[in-house]
Chains A and B, each alone.
Chain A
């Protein structure tokens, strides 16, 4: 069967190559060297992450992708300071990360808005923790609520919002603190396809206008390519870097680009990395033929 002829995912158009060259000159924000994490399991230690190395530069958008159990969430939790690595170093602006802090905002997969606070109060939370006065926190919060297009819902409680709206508030709440890095752990995983696509567009728009570096965890290949400058592909058991791919799709991005040759080439490469052909063949279950209806037209 003829398959579409695709370019190599490593060939970049001059514009894209130029962009990556400039990107490499920006200062490093996040730096992981020989990062490892071992959990104490019931049956001995379990290595979740093994020798992870990468750097993220200022205002870069990096997505982390991998099969389930590859340690994506562990990695982002360590970046947030909610977990701690057992070996290696993790630096934010040259300083080691030891605990959670407002310089690393986080958006979780589950909805973590404070149910007892309104949308505006949720966005004010981080600002108030920083010691900002109520008045100035409110002004800032209103600006961020406006940025995520929820002005009309500022006084609503989270339980009155849809899933997509909740995640927009969560993004506004994290960004209001003006973090150096925005960590996102499968933030759109629980949303339906249309909402998810709208949220991706939203996020790219926000990222374009705000000075923030984003590390975005996902298991959706299209999402990983559409959003990212670079895709960090993890392999499971133990979680380690399979490849760090520079996405050759030019910016600004839109959903139409998902059918462009560069996109599809990258997509195929990710597919090969995450679902190796041999593994699929071995795991395919044996199925009995239980029908012949419709066989004549097959």
Chain B
């Protein structure tokens, strides 16, 4: 439809229009950043002195805000001293895109300042390893427990109330305790990420398990499924796609806990890099660290999302996760719809009907 409006209420745009918009989504912040960095009239509130002239208060390469600069110039004019020259610049914490771009490259190619400290790629490896160990550990314990809680009300009542309390305790608060228990290696960091993920993961898994359409369980029972079979042949495969999405989101939270965990005890990994570079006031490198974290998180999530469509071909794409519901409110634990049937017929259904009619 060439004349379909761009702004239609609750109507998805065709891919031909959606794709460029997605590209623009990334382009907008970059363009804004360029404008702020390269057009002095937009912001540039500071002056970088290129020649101190007759000033005794300031020296070359010093940054000062515009008002102080003008005040000093006025003083110099009154005292008939040579004036300072300066360029308009942004504050040091906002480097220009090309500086960050260059830093992105050099940060990887520059050997560590001190012998024995890790290269940037080694830091990234270390961070990823800590996150994935903690994530895997949380999954292995929380998911089976959550499934059991979601399946059997007995375990739900026995386990969930305390977990529900535990999840309000902020994970970083356990830092000191974890160092006392595990000493100064990676273990306390893994433990903090684990604590951050585990309790929510268990409750989310239990809630997701409870969203399974009970009619499927009844159907299985009328087909002769035993209790064990109900759990392993209906509950588990039935909630797996939604659970996969939940875990994907949990991994996203994991990156947040990682940056906290890496400051616990001995600083390490990519967070240490960011903090170090911040101390040296090397802000292009700080941006590098932040961007690396963002790209890692984004790429893993996109990859896992793509894998989901391959692993669960029967699952409809637009599936809402129970994360938000779980995090915002646990008061109403209802019986939501199965969600497996979408309101609009699948294109394949229409095709199937056509074939069926011909047959």
Indicate if B92 sits at the interface (CB-CB under 8 A): no
A82 near B221 (CB under 8 angstroms)? yes
Given A101-B224, A129-B224, A161-B349: A115 touches B314 (CB 8 Å cut-off) = yes
Contact of B222 among A80, A116, A128 (CB under 8 A): A80
Bound Cα distance from A104 to B224, whole angstroms: 9
B218 near A130 (CB under 8 angstroms)? no
Binary interface profile of A, 91-131, with partner B (CB < 8 Å = 1, else 0)? 00000000111101110101110111100000001101110
Indicate if A63 sits at the interface (CB-CB under 8 A): no
Nearest chain B residue, comparing its CB with the CB of A162: B353
B314 near A116 (CB under 8 angstroms)? yes
Indicate if B229 sits at the interface (CB-CB under 8 A): yes
Bound Cα distance from A82 to B218, whole angstroms: 7
Contacts of B316 in A (CB 8 A): 159
Contact of A100 among B221, B238, B313 (CB under 8 A): B221
A105 near B314 (CB under 8 angstroms)? no
Contacts of A130 in B (CB 8 A): 224
How many inter-chain contacts with C-beta < 8 Å in the A-B complex?
108
B224 near A102 (CB under 8 angstroms)? yes
Contacts of B241 in A (CB 8 A): 116
Contacts of A101 in B (CB 8 A): 222, 224
Bound Cα distance from A152 to B312, whole angstroms: 22
Contact of A115 among B221, B226, B340, B345 (CB under 8 A): B340
Indicate if A177 sits at the interface (CB-CB under 8 A): yes
Contact of B355 among A81, A152, A183 (CB under 8 A): A152
Cβ < 8 Å to A, chain B residues 285-316: 312-316
Nearest chain B residue, comparing its CB with the CB of A160: B348
B215 near A108 (CB under 8 angstroms)? yes
Contact of B218 among A100, A105, A159 (CB under 8 A): A100
Smallest CB separation, B343 vs chain A (Å)? 13
Indicate if A165 sits at the interface (CB-CB under 8 A): yes
Given A161-B352, A162-B349: A114 touches B234 (CB 8 Å cut-off) = yes
Smallest CB separation, B345 vs chain A (Å)? 8
Bound Cα distance from A160 to B355, whole angstroms: 12
Cβ < 8 Å to A, chain B residues 72-103: none
Smallest CB separation, A160 vs chain B (Å)? 4
Smallest CB separation, A221 vs chain B (Å)? 26
Binary interface profile of B, 316-359, with partner A (CB < 8 Å = 1, else 0)? 10000000000000000000000011100110110011011001
B222 near A110 (CB under 8 angstroms)? no
Cβ < 8 Å to A, chain B residues 184-220: 213, 215-216, 218-220
Smallest CB separation, B215 vs chain A (Å)? 5
Indicate if A20 sits at the interface (CB-CB under 8 A): no
A159 near B219 (CB under 8 angstroms)? no
Contacts of B216 in A (CB 8 A): 112, 114
Contacts of B219 in A (CB 8 A): 106, 108, 112, 114, 170
B340 near A100 (CB under 8 angstroms)? no
A110 near B215 (CB under 8 angstroms)? yes
Indicate if B120 sits at the interface (CB-CB under 8 A): no
A111 near B341 (CB under 8 angstroms)? yes
A158 near B222 (CB under 8 angstroms)? no
B215 near A125 (CB under 8 angstroms)? no
A129 near B229 (CB under 8 angstroms)? yes
Smallest CB separation, A100 vs chain B (Å)? 4
B218 near A158 (CB under 8 angstroms)? no
Indicate if B223 sits at the interface (CB-CB under 8 A): yes
Indicate if B225 sits at the interface (CB-CB under 8 A): yes
Indicate if A207 sits at the interface (CB-CB under 8 A): no
Bound Cα distance from A149 to B237, whole angstroms: 27
Nearest chain B residue, comparing its CB with the CB of A195: B353
Contacts of A81 in B (CB 8 A): 221-222
Contacts of B225 in A (CB 8 A): 125, 129
A158 near B314 (CB under 8 angstroms)? yes
A152 near B215 (CB under 8 angstroms)? no
Indicate if B240 sits at the interface (CB-CB under 8 A): yes
Contacts of B240 in A (CB 8 A): 116
Bound Cα distance from A156 to B345, whole angstroms: 15
Smallest CB separation, A285 vs chain B (Å)? 32
Binary interface profile of A, 250-281, with partner B (CB < 8 Å = 1, else 0)? 00000000000000000000000000000000
A153 near B352 (CB under 8 angstroms)? yes
A102, A117, A129, A165: which has the most chain B beta carbons within 10 Å?
Answer: A129
B352 near A165 (CB under 8 angstroms)? yes
B223 near A129 (CB under 8 angstroms)? yes
Bound Cα distance from A156 to B342, whole angstroms: 17
Contacts of B359 in A (CB 8 A): 149, 152
Top 8 closest A-B pairs, CB basis? A102-B224, A126-B223, A100-B221, A112-B219, A106-B222, A160-B348, A157-B314, A129-B224
14 contacts between A and B (CB under 8 A): A82-B218, A99-B221, A100-B218, A104-B222, A106-B219, A112-B216, A114-B219, A114-B220, A116-B240, A129-B224, A152-B359, A162-B345, A162-B353, A183-B222
